[in-house]
Structure 1
Amino acid sequence: MKNKAILCPRCHQLVGSDEATCSWCGTSRTSPWWHMVSLAQGMSGENGVFKAIITLNILLYVFSLLISSRIGGSAGGLFGVLAPDRTSLLLLGATGTVPIDQYGRLWTLFSASYLHAGVLHITFNLMALRNLAPLTTEEYGVSRMFIIYTLGGAGGFWASYMAGVPFTVGASAAVCSLIGALLYFGRSRGGAYGSAVYSEVKGWIISLLIFGLIMPGINNWGHGGGVISGIILGKLLGYGEHSLASKLHVLLATICAIGTIGVLLWAGYSALIYEHVQK
């Protein structure tokens, strides 16, 4: 069967139907690298990875509400019916000094990014993710965006743990790592476009600072740690205009995905076991 003309997944130049290799970068259509990156891009579709992140956050939020009602928890307050209790969040992977120091749950640095304490909490975080993830994907590529989201979120929660925050959940630390990566991109790239990105992302930083000062219970350490982690990861990984996506990026993103799914499945299984024991 004759090959179709396609964009090279490595350099994004057009490869003709009669070409066995990309005439721009030399990548072969039959190379494992070509298929790995093509698979990653196919999975992403129109920002499919960040849509999967949003879906997973919503599913974990609903599951936390179900677990909360089954073990008899109550969050209380105006939005109590839409807020899981602390026991459910602890079982499903909330992080902080209590889960890590008292229960040895270091893996919660990764799971906490997919848990939320209420309907407003998850709404604000996913709205921010909806705005920032596509832009980060555009500049860094899908693999590096997911690496930044995963490791940057863990870095933010590690900062809050070191600061002594006892109990925390939310995607905001991971979202802030995307902000940090875009800050680095804007400053590093420069020019009119880089300056525009930098100015826009600075607006997010200012909003976070104001919001953190006004609203009680905001994990400012997690936000700050996420931003710093994102800057570091953005510099280490590089962005699309300076370096192409590599096998290492795809491999590391795959490890992050498998690790994340693993800890969330383990947390869900543990929560169900606890619920069964409590009956």
Structure 2
Amino acid sequence: MAVNEKKLFNLLLKQYGFYIDEYEFEGKKKWIALKDTDGGLYAVITSDEEEYNKCYYHAEQFLKSKNVSFSLNNVIFTKSNKQVQTDDYNKLIFNTKENSVIYCSSASDVLSRIINMMTNNEKSRLPLALNVTNILILINIIIFVVSCYLSHSIIDINTYVLVAMGAKVDSYIWSGEIYRLVTAMFLHGGLIHIFFNMYALYSLGYIIEDVFGKKQYMIIYFLSGICSNLLSAVISPYVSVGSSGAIFGLFGAAAVFGFMEKDKIGKSFFNNMASVIFVNIIIGFSQPNIDNAAHFGGLACGAILSYIILRKRAKV
């Protein structure tokens, strides 16, 4: 497993009770993972082999401003086994090429065990290509290729082909063809349609999969897609296809996560999600042939499911 800041902090946040804050470094925001202990704050930062001492200094000043006891640990990523010359402080040096810890201070030993567990666990897992997001993308692409073959076109898929393959058609759904609430999620009207949807899924899916785990991610994705098509069937009389309702569910889940965890991960994540959702809503109302009912249905479902999951997790 290629250990990096995002994966390390994600694990510390999800499994070890840390929360994320930010400190200033040369005009930029950098993450710092914090955990309250009996001896004060246990803090973790990451840096590269060029900025490690500067990062440590700025993080140290940030912690001193809190007026609490702390233990600051710097995870330094390097590309060689050459010993990194640092000031005398708690540190762990990780060789990114060899994927191994090459030095660890005694105070940072717990981080060494966590990182070694990350690298060892990955060896026994299925390849990255088999994660949920990649599987969903692959299924969408395969079904799109089939629809292209049947339509003899890659730019615009024939509507009759989409209906035959399971598009959302209100009259058919109310006549009992409930399966269309699911099948419509995997159909797309053309090359541009599937490109933008798969790009959005690729960009957001990994984040949701990391935060919620595979099972809850699939629950959010599929229920959001079903709810989006159900609301569309109630409000919109038109034939519609696409995974955007399910993807809007992921946007809703991400926004709720960012809002509920803003004290731990900072406000920027929620602000970014809110901005993306707002822009997509504006696009939806300004462009023709966009099923806004499906988008709102998916967004609401994803937000509600995320809230329920996170509230339940907080009580554990």
TM-score by length of 2: 0.57
Structure-2 separation of matches of 1:46 and 1:241: 28
1:107 matched residue in structure 2: 179
Shift in Å, 1:237: 2.6
Shift in Å, 1:150: 0.7
Structure 2: runs of 5 or more not aligned: 1-10, 18-120
2:161 matched residue in structure 1: 88
Aligned length: 200
Structure 1: runs of 5 or more not aligned: 1-6, 14-37, 70-79, 245-279
1:215 matched residue in structure 2: 287
Q: Which runs of 4+ in 1 moved over 3 A?
A: 10-13, 41-47, 239-244
Instruction: Decide whether the 8 Å contact of 2:132 with 2:209 is kept in 1.
Output: no
Counterpart of 1:146, as a letter, is M
2:141 matched residue in structure 1: 58
Counterpart of 1:55, as a letter, is L
Structure-2 separation of matches of 1:188 and 1:169: 32
Counterpart of 1:151, as a letter, is L
Shift in Å, 1:166: 2.6
Q: Which protein shows a greater Rg?
A: 2
Counterpart of 1:191, as a letter, is D
Structure-1 separation of matches of 2:135 and 2:147: 18
Structure-2 separation of matches of 1:106 and 1:202: 32
Higher relative contact order (CA 8 A, sep 6+): 1
Task: Deviation per CA, 1:61-107: give whole Å up to 9, x if none.
Answer: 010111223xxxxxxxxxx6522211111111111314313x53111
Structure ranking higher in helix proportion: 1
Structure-2 separation of matches of 1:92 and 1:188: 40
2:268 matched residue in structure 1: 196
2:190 to 90, 94, 118: 118
SS at match of 2:215: helix
Instruction: Decide whether the 8 Å contact of 1:96 with 1:157 is kept in 2.
Output: no
Instruction: Decide whether the 8 Å contact of 1:47 with 1:137 is kept in 2.
Output: no
1:162 matched residue in structure 2: 234
Counterpart of 1:105, as a letter, is E
Instruction: Decide whether the 8 Å contact of 1:185 with 1:234 is kept in 2.
Output: yes
